[in-house]
Amino acid sequence: MAEIGQHFTAHYGQYLASLEGPNRILYQNIKETMDPYIEGDVLDLGNGGIFTYDPQRARDILAVDICFTEDTALFKKIPNVTYQYGNAMSLEEVTHKSFDVMIIQFLFHHTAEEGFKKVLGNGKKVISNALKVLRPGGKLIIVEQGIPRIMEFCERAFYGLACFVLKLLNLPPVYIYSKKTLLKLLKEGGFENMRYKIISCGKKLDLLATLKPNKFVVPRWPFFYFKVYFILAEKRG
């Protein structure tokens, strides 16, 4: 996972620019959808130094990412935000174990490794860790890109080849879940009251936003099957 952290740190400026560039409408819609659920103590996992919601709505925010080292001078200083290094696979570094809300935004596809069994295993680990740190009745917010179930089956079939190509391009592995798979993992992981909505991306799509932001901006309509989901789930009381 270390190479992923290095990748995002190296492209931090481009990700910030994407908030006001090709992804502006998407992030505006994410903010409108997410803000009403931001309250109390918040754990923002995979934050990357980017806030697509109003942090002042929370009491305290612990922003955790593998790209946060001892030097966080690169990232915006916000009074109620603490930046901390942490791995989504373990969260061993997170000493505070009680949160009202946990945010996992555009993270799941980056928990991929070579080998499909590891992909699902990592997804389950992230959800298991979320369950551990949330208070009873706490909310888990997931914002994640998704593809139809049938396309996910094809992705699984050619996953090994895709990892090989990305490695040649010096890019980390990526696996895009379907909504159905994510909801299934949440249910099996102990969450309930799951609901979702599709967040509009606007008329343009930053095709490789999570790998090379602002490099492959294309018209949205040929990629109508590609969606961004807002998923809300609750920890059983």
**pLDDT at residue 2, as a whole number:** 46
Q: How confident is the model at residue 71 (pLDDT cuts 50, 70, 90)?
A: low
Closest CA to 195 of 230, 148, 143: 230
Which structural domain, as residue segments, surrounds residue 180? 2-235
CATH at residue 89: 3.40.50.150
Q: How confident is the model at residue 224 (pLDDT cuts 50, 70, 90)?
A: confident
**pLDDT at residue 171, as a whole number:** 82
Phi-psi region of 199 (alpha: psi -120 to 50; beta: other; left: phi over 0): beta
The tens digit of pLDDT for each residue in 173-211 reads 899 999 999 999 999 999 999 999 999 988 877 766 666
The tens digit of pLDDT for each residue in 4-48 reads 545 555 555 666 666 667 778 888 999 999 999 999 999 999 888
Element (H, E) at 32: helix 24-34
The answer to whether 118 and 155 have CB atoms below 8 angstroms apart is: no
Q: How far is it, in rounded angstroms, from Cα 8 to Cα 48?
A: 7
pTM: 0.88
The tens digit of pLDDT for each residue in 115-167 reads 888 899 999 999 999 999 999 999 999 999 999 999 999 999 999 999 999 88
Place of tokens 């069994």: 117
The proportion of the chain whose per-residue pLDDT surpasses 70, expressed as a percent, equals 83
Domain count, the chain: 1
Q: How far is it, in rounded angstroms, from Cα 48 to Cα 145?
A: 17
